[in-house]
Each structure stands twice: as structure tokens, then as C-alpha cells.
Amino acid sequence: MSPSVEAPSVEHRFVEVNGVRLHIAEQGQGPLVLLLHGFPESWYSWRHQFGPLAAAGYRVVAPDQRGYARSEQPADISAYSMLHLTGDVIGLIRALGEDQAVVVGHDWGAPVAWTTAMLRPDVVRGVAGLSVPPVPRGTAAPLPALVAELGEGFYQQYFQEPGVADAELARDVRSTFRRLLYGGSGDSPLTDPPVPWVIPEGASVLDTMPEPKELPGWLTDADIDAFARDYAEHGDRAFTGGLNWYRNIDRNWELLAPFHGRGIDIPALYVAGDRDLVRAFPGMDRLLPVLDQVLPRLHANVTLPGCGHWTQQERPDEVNAALLDFLAQLPVRD
């Protein structure tokens, strides 16, 4: 199937969760599997997972998370904290008429999945993260430490000032997607080897991501159109909802203080490419080799050679195989 072809049986609708109108795409019947996208993506980033998972007997649901694409974009920055985001996951499971789900997340969706699993193991019967592993809460706010090591140009710090990256990314939405999806992929020279994304002083957010002359084989112009079309609904605030997630990084550390030291004690899966920029973040060289200590019920830790940041889009067959293997061994819970 061509990367840009959407299975005709994928259905779309809106549900209200915690006072926010969320767009969801769904296919199949059976145990619920929630697919949570990252930045700057949407439900469409899971286009290759719907058919295989549904065919295997699962009900597959991928929302546009709050602030993204067709979903509502609350104006208040504080409305994008991790407690809001995990609350959306629990609320969505209930809105779908289910009591439990397997939750799979990529990029920012992964911390949401990991945190939901940590907070509500009674609801999440299995958890999988692509690209971003679970990072135990430290003793100090994370962003100042990252800036101390990587500088003020580290992209998560660059994103903090409201309106700046928002305007740069929204100026030409199609170009933004072409640049970011190619630039962070395993096909880009920027990921050989992967390094943290740092914007030089005086540069804009996209200056470090040149427009590709041609797209890699896993990404088509139709894919770019699909992302851009959904983002265009928010106009010059197309990326603001997603950027507001970054603006809560240190606040999340504060809000999760009551759960410091709490582990994730349910079945888990981790999948990432060896050219993913996340691997180059400070501390990852120490965390990834001992991931089974953070996830004592880790089913598999899968590394995809030559794969960059956009895991399930770049390597759909391998990701689907890993997910189906993981799902098949999960115990059924009441």
C-alpha cells in the first residue's frame, strides 16, 4: 500500500473530553489500542498502523491530541500540562465506552503514554513508547539542566517564548512539514550521527532544517498535504497548541512531585531508531542500557537500524510487527 493511501474503513468523528473537542480516527473491533502522536504530527502519523492492527482484531483509535490539527486548541498555556494530557487519555477511554486500553505513544505521545501507565495501571493494560523512553523524575526541574548543557538554542528552550517559533513554523506549513519530517529522519545527513537539535544564535527555528530537494521514499507529497491541510484550520496558530506542551515541561516536573519514585509496573514495549535525535539527549546513553530497570515488565527493547525520529512512519512494517507481537502476549484483564 502506498504510504499516502488511507484505508477506506478508517472513520472520523469528534468527541468531547474534559471540556475539549477532540478529533479521532478509528478502525476495527476488539480490545482498544490508543495511538498518541507527537510534535508536529496528528492522527495521520499512524496511517500505516490502522489496517494491520484492526485486521489482527483490535479497535484502533488515534486522536488529534489537544491543541493539534482538527482538535480544539485551548488558549491558556497551562491547559497543556501532563495532568491535562493524561486526563484526556483516561477521558477518551471512557468516552469510547471502554474501561481499559493499551496505550502507544510516539515522541510527545510517549511521555503521555508512560505517565498515564504510571498513574493509572488499572486502566492501561499495556504501554508502548516509540522514540522517547520513560525518563524517571529527577530532583530538579529538567529544562534548566538541559540548557546548561546544550545552551539557550536547544529547541525546547527556543520554543518557550510564546509567538516566536509559532510564527516561524506557521509561515509556510507545507515547507515546515517537509523540512522537519525529512530533517529528523534516518534519510537526512543531519542524523548521521544524531545530535540534539540546537538553533544557533540569530537563526530561526527552520534555518537548521533545509528544504529537501526530494522527499524520502516513506514520505509523499500527499502525506505532506494531509498534515498541512489539518494544521491549516488553526491559521497562524497552527503549531501553537503543540508548542504549548513544551511550555509546560518544568511545570510538569512540579505537578508530578507527588509521584516521584513511582514506577511503571505493567507490560511495556520500547521501539526507536538508531538515528533518532532523542538518543543524543543528555543522559540517554546511561538510561537506555538499563531500561529494564525502569520498566521491570519490559517485553522488548527494539532498535531499528537506519531509522530516525519518525519511527512508525519510517519503518511501518517493523513497528507493526513489534506492536502485534507485544499485543498478542498481553494478559486479558477485567
**What are the residue numbers of the active site?**
107, 309
Q: Are 205 and 155 in contact (CB under 8 A)?
A: yes
Helices 109-119/82-95 angle, 10° precision = 80
Residue that has been written with the C-alpha cell 540517554 in this structure = 284
- Tell me the helices (H) and strands (E) count for the chain, helix number first: 14, 8
Sheet (strand 124-130) strand order: 11-17, 20-27, 59-63, 32-36, 101-106, 124-130, 268-273, 298-304
Distance separating alpha carbons of residues 287 and 303, to the nearest angstrom: 14
Measured distance CA(72)–CA(86) in Å, rounded: 16
Q: Torsion angle of alpha carbons 261, 118, 140, 161, nearest 10°?
A: 180
Q: What is the largest CA-CA distance in the chain?
A: 56
Name which of 224, 205, 229 is nearest 214 in CA terms.
Answer: 224
Give the CB-side neighbour count of residue 237, counting CA atoms within 13 A: 15
